[in-house]
Structure 1
Amino acid sequence: MPWLRISLLWLCFITTVAQAGTQLATDLKVLTSPEHAGRGSGDVEKNASARYIHARFTEAGLETYYQSFRFRQGLGKLGYGHNVVATLPCNAHVCDKSLVISAHYDHLGSRGSRYYPGANDNASGVVVMLDIAQRLAAQQRHREIVFVATDAEEKGLYGAHFFAATLNPERVALNINLDMLAVSGKNRLYVLASKQASDLTQAIAPAFDNQIRAFIYTSPASMARRLDTPRVDWLRASDHYAFHKVGIPFAYFGIGIDPNHHTHKDQFEQVDLPKLAQVSGHINAFISALSVAAAP
């Protein structure tokens, strides 16, 4: 069972938090910088954020490419998006179905002379995804792991819908969607998971501890009641919905409501970096339990 490997993986967790935190901070600082101008989507050219993410995946040794697409924005106007897709192939003798890790990198862009940094939404998810990719690259894996940094999520999940349509659902075990991971003082993450993925998502709880707790739901309505967000449909709230639409099970990780969401206050300085490094370690332990092949 996947959860049996958690205790061994946990031994490596404490020693890697500090190192991961340094790179997480660097990546977060870059993606929220003025040069990235709020990571708006819609331009024909690949933006600075897409290029940076591509370079980071490539540095980690992943097979990486851009996936460009068009979408409608406004009356009669076309927007252009650029997903960044990176793959770690299965390198074991026997391979199981693949995992798809997603996190949208786009945000609201700029308004006049001001830009929206989008540190939690969703630079936090992207930097954790980059950290996990780098950690898993050195492991023997009995699954192919596909990472996709999606574009145009804020405008209608367009990048995720485009990417999900290219997949064969029969060959994908699970989508793990990361969106807003900068935990607050409550030290909580909320997970919405497909019921049909219970044999995989049972590995989530053992990958966490009492410092960062994970609350797992299989019903969007139950999650909305717990968070007191009656107007939020958590199934459709982020990119996991695109995978759900094509029949791929999912596990969506996020903090729920952020008071700085879609404001200029969602800044680098508001993110507790040591906690974000812990979150990354926990999610990595979960993914590793599903994917890392046992030593022969």
Structure 2
Amino acid sequence: MPTDYQLTQAVQNLKILADDKMEGRKTGTPGHKIAAGFISDAFSAMQLGHFSPGYFQPFTYEQGWNEKTGVNVVGLIEGSEFADDYIVISAHYDHLGIKGRHIFNGADDNASGVAAMLALANYFTVHRPHHSIIFLATDVEEAGLRGAKAFLSSSPIKAVQIRLNINIDMIGNGGKRHELYVLTPPDVYFTPLVHQYIAAHSKATFRLKAGQPRKINRRSLLESRIDWRRASDHAVFANVGIDYIYFGNDIHKHYHQPSDTFENINVDFFKSSLVHITDLVSQLDRLNLRSRKVNSANE
């Protein structure tokens, strides 16, 4: 479990990533560069490994008639037992930037996920994982999941070596019912473990829910139709046959609004989310994910 200090540090990292000086972390802006540097510096302080000379993975993408550049931030901890088998823990760090006079800080979306990813990296530097773990802060998620696509298309490891993607996207505002959703592909080999965990740890003050939000959001009919299986970076991994677990709360009144600030984060909910995510990821890491997937495919 994360220590009280690690939880406090995670909250502080969330606050930093959602600060006005990050300018809403829109790709290509000065604030976005500051955010990427902050994540890279955090990886360096934890002495994570890396594939490139540093932690940055630049990539180009087309937007309209223009070619633009994004940058993922990628760190690595080598596994103690299954070093050639990888878990990728991902969270996108880009957001919407500044529109008019308003900064879209993206505290829940997705400073909360990046802060959780950094906390998991910190945890696994102390508790060495069985599988190798890649910590992936993706860029340009808000404009087509571009960073996740770039990571897989130019990854130094083969996609078949990635046994699981843990994607964290918005875990700082569980609404009045304090709900964190845990979404997996249907009927994968680890589904029973996930469901058992949810049944054992869900309570009135913090509800773990299997699947994806399905309630109608009155503010926007379009948002009420979000298919969370395809709405964040885990969809890119799923498209190439990689299993995933997605952690996220439902959309809320601050979603994609200037009011998505640190002040509107439910800190207790965020901490509880991080504790349970760390616990469940640790349990999954103790499995031999390669043999489990092979056995499942042969059944």
- TM tier relative to shorter chain: 0.7 to 0.9
Change in CA separation of 1:61 and 1:263 when aligned onto 2, cut-off 3 Å: same
Matches within 5 A, 1:191-270: 191-195=182-186, 197-199=188-190, 202-203=193-194, 205-206=196-197, 208-210=201-203, 211-217=205-211, 223=212, 225=214, 231-270=225-264
Report the equivalent of 1:5.
none
Q: Aligned letter for 2:57?
A: Q
Q: Aligned letter for 1:206?
A: Y
- Cα distance, 1:99 vs structure 2: 0.7
- Cα distance, 1:290 vs structure 2: 1.9
Higher mean C-alpha deviation, range 104-113 or range 194-203: 194-203
Whole-angstrom CA distance in 1 between matches of 2:101 and 2:262 = 18
Q: Is the 8 A contact 1:204 1:286 kept in 2?
A: no
RMSD over aligned CA atoms reads 2.4
TM-score with structure 1 length normalisation?
0.84
Report the equivalent of 2:125.
137
Whole-angstrom CA distance in 2 between matches of 1:204 and 1:60 = 32
- Cα distance, 1:169 vs structure 2: 2.8
Q: Aligned letter for 1:279?
A: S
Report the equivalent of 1:185.
176
Deviations 1:227-266 (A, max 9, x none): 6765212221111111111111111111122211111000
Q: Is the 8 A contact 1:42 1:152 kept in 2?
A: no
The one of the two structures with greater contact order (alpha-carbon pairs below 8 A, sep at least 6) is 1
Change in CA separation of 1:267 and 1:224 when aligned onto 2, cut-off 3 Å: closer
1:285 equivalent to 2:279? Answer: yes
Deviations 1:195-235 (A, max 9, x none): 35332672464273414222112xxxxx3545676521222
Unaligned 5+ runs, structure 2: 218-222, 288-299
Report the equivalent of 1:107.
95
Matches within 5 A, 1:85-100: 85-92=74-81, 94-95=82-83, 97-100=85-88
Unaligned 5+ runs, structure 1: 1-11, 218-222
Whole-angstrom CA distance in 2 between matches of 1:25 and 1:174 = 26
Q: Is the 8 A contact 1:193 1:201 kept in 2?
A: no
TM-score with structure 2 length normalisation?
0.83
Give the total of aligned pairs.
273
Report the equivalent of 2:146.
158
Percent sequence identity over matched residues?
Answer: 35
1:275 equivalent to 2:269? Answer: yes
Deviations 1:142-169 (A, max 9, x none): 1001110000001111001111223523
Higher mean C-alpha deviation, range 131-140 or range 109-118: 109-118
Q: Aligned letter for 1:267?
A: T
